[in-house]
Amino acid sequence: MIAFLLKRIANAAFVMLAVALLAFVIFRFFGDPVEMMVNEQATLADRVELRERLGLNDSFITQYTRFVTDTVQGDFGISYRNQQDVMVLIKERFPATFELVLVATVISLVVGIPAGVITAVYRESRLANILQLGSIIGVSLPSFVVGILLILAFSVSLGWLPAFGRGETVDIGWWSTGLLTPSGRAALMLPAISLSTFQVTLVMRLVRAEMLETLRADYIKFARARGVPAARVHWRHALRNCLMPVITLTGMQIGNLIAFALVTETVFQWPGMGMLFIQAVTFVDIPVMAAYLMIVSLIFVVLNTLVDITYAWVDPRLRDDTASAGGSNG
């Protein structure tokens, strides 16, 4: 088990190094931050000097080594554009993104699970057909379109919910939350719904498939034969056995949602990490772009590694397979 753990962690570290390299290569072709930093009247000499001071003239290897060394120590430098410590910038924005992702996840479960059960149990009913159709729309509409439609409906026409922003926030230590104020909760509604549309469909379809399988199982038939009420059979006995994969999927998807939140955040001017990243791209703010990519990949890698380890712990067969396969590959 320990050998397996070490292997997984070494793999994760290797992935992070690769991401760092990739990120770094991309930035080299991204453009020149100096042209964005100085104003019209800066002379050529000023520009050359600034490029020198930022270390952009050093060799690729030197820059990469410096980047990795600093990153390992958690030092991403300071933002070119905002002149702030990058970690502070990200720490400020993280709560906004996290709350958005959290609420979107809750919505996807609260809506997706019942919808999945209904479409599985009452397969031929009109409601099930409508839900199925809705889910196709949910996967096919891009999230920025969903966002704009929601804004048109609920902000412009009905005037119920704000079109942008995060409302009032309350600070709890360094964590700023919008969940505790009415305006914060109102502002969260549209972005969270928009972000969750894809996820709702995913959960619904997964629950439906699992339910269809479980409903054919012997113990369900026995329960029915014993005269257990249908609702109890479906929502309790059957559903419980379908939830394991849903939980796994939800855990894995959190990384995806954080990455996808970028689009939603842009549409709703949500002051999260995605918004920060988009601006950084516009201004070639390399330290911020690098930190964002590294942190989002870190979240992915950690989630994946945790899931792998948990699986291996639950199911020893996986552990042996992976360990021996990894060993033979060197």
Partner 1 sequence: MTLRHLLIATAAVASLAGAAQAENVLKWGANRDIGSLDPYSFGDSFTINVLNHVYEGLVRYNKDLEIEPALAESWQVLDDQITWRFKLRQGVTFHNGNPFTADDVVASLTRVSDDTSPLKGNLPAYVTSKAVDDYTVDITLNGTYPLLLNDLTNIHIFDKEWMTEHDALMPTDVGAGTEGYATYHANGTGPFIVESRQPDAKTVFVANKDWWDEPQHNLDRIEFTPVSSAATRVAALLSGEISFTEDAPVQDLPRLAAAPNIEVLEGVDLRTVMVGFPFRDTLTTGEPNPFTDKNVREALYKAIDLDLIHQKVMRGKSRIAGATVAPPIPGYVEALDELPDYDPDAAKTLLADAGVPEGLEFEFNCLSDGLVNEEQFCQAIASMWSRIGLSPKLDVAPRAVQSPKRTNGKTDLYTLGWATLPLLDSYSPLLQIFHTKDGNAGVFNWGGWSFPELDALIDAAGSELDLDARLALQTKALQMVKDEIIMIPLHQQPMAWAITDDVAEMPLFPDAKPRLWFARMDGES
List contacts with partner 1 (CB under 8 A): 29-32, 35-46, 49-50, 53-55, 77-85, 89, 92-93, 148, 151-152, 155-156, 158-160, 162-166, 168-169, 182-183, 266-269, 271, 275-276, 278-279, 281-284
Q: Considering the complex, state which of residue 89 and residue 111 has its C-beta at the smaller distance from partner 1.
A: 89
Minimal distance, residue 165 CB to partner 1, in Å: 6
Closer Cβ to partner 1, 4 or 270, answer by number = 270
32 versus 213: smaller Cβ distance to partner 1: 32
How far is 75 from 67, CA to CA, in rounded Å?
9
Q: CB-wise, 157 or 328, nearer to partner 1?
A: 157
| φ, ψ dihedrals at 57, nearest 5° | -90, -10
- Give the nearest distance from C-beta 50 to partner 1 in angstroms: 7
Q: Hey, how many other C-beta atoms are within 10 angstroms of the C-beta on 233?
A: 19
* Least CB distance to partner 1 at residue 90 (A): 12
Q: For residues 89 and 200, which CB has a smaller minimum distance to partner 1 in the complex? A: 89
Contacts (Cβ under 8 Å, ≥6 apart) of 256: none
Rounded to the nearest whole angstrom, what is the least distance from the CB of residue 87 to partner 1 in the complex?
Answer: 11
CB of 72 to partner 1, least distance (A): 16
* Minimum distance, C-beta of residue 302 to partner 1, in the bound complex (Å): 26
Nearest 10 degrees: Cα torsion 235, 241, 245, 250: 40
CB-nearer residue toward partner 1: 75 or 303 = 75
Please report, to the nearest 10 degrees, the dihedral formed by the alpha carbons of residues 172, 178, 183, 187 taken in order.
Answer: 170
Burial of 60 (0-12, 13-18, 19+ CB in 10 A): exposed
CB of 173 to partner 1, least distance (A): 16
Residue 36, both tokens = 């964005």
Among residues 168 and 256, whose Cβ is nearest to partner 1?
168
Closest alpha carbon to 103 in 168, 201, 192: 192
Residues in Cβ contact with 125 at an 8 Å cutoff, skipping those fewer than 6 apart: 118
Neighbours of 160 (CB within 10 A): 11
**Are 86 and 287 spatial neighbours (Cβ–Cβ below 8 Å)?**
yes
Token readout for 209 is 């498939």
Measured in degrees and rounded to the nearest 5, phi and psi for residue 70 equal -65, -40
Collapsing DSSP states into helix, strand and coil, what is residue 172? strand
* Residue number, 35 or 315, with CB nearest to partner 1: 35
Nearer to partner 1, 191 or 255 (CB): 191
Question: Least Å distance between CB 135 and partner 1?
Answer: 26
In the bound complex, what is the minimum distance in angstroms from residue 158's beta carbon to partner 1? Answer: 7
DSSP assignment of 95-139, as one string?
Answer: HHHHHHHHHHHHHHHHHHHHHHHHHHHTTTSHHHHHHHHHHHHHH
